[in-house]
């Protein structure tokens, strides 16, 4: 296998939490899924250049506090979440 030094736009510190990116011009979405039967407190890392992160909720976007290029969030068992980055 050849490694070319590419890093994913988003990654987590929990192996049971998958994250995928939908990228646009200067904004996009990260889709997270907890594949575990246990709730997960997860740290999400990004190299997307995001200046702000909001979790998409039924009542509208909710700002997420970031620490540099990472943030923390909780996902329930088998729960998914969508976050918007700008």
pTM: 0.89
pLDDT tens-digit map of 37-81: 999 999 999 998 889 999 999 999 999 999 999 999 999 999 999
CATH hierarchy code of domain 10-85: 2.60.40.1180
DSSP letters spanning 32-84: EEE-SSS-EEEEEEE-S--S-EEEEETTEEEEE-EETTEEEEEE-TT-EEEEE
Q: In the chain, what are the domain boundaries?
A: 10-85
Tokens 């889709």 sit on residue: 31
Q: What is the pLDDT of residue 3?
A: 63
d(CA 24, CA 29): 8
């Amino acid at each position: 296998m050849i490694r070319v030094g590419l890093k994913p736009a988003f990654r987590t510190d929990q192996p049971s939490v998958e994250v995928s990116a939908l990228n646009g011009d200067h904004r996009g979405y990260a889709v997270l899924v907890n594949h575990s039967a246990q709730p997960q407190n997860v740290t999400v890392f990004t190299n997307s250049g995001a200046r702000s992160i909001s979790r998409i909720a039924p009542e509208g976007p909710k700002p997420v506090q970031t620490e540099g290029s990472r943030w923390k969030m909780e996902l329930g068992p088998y729960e998914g979440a969508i976050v918007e980055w700008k």
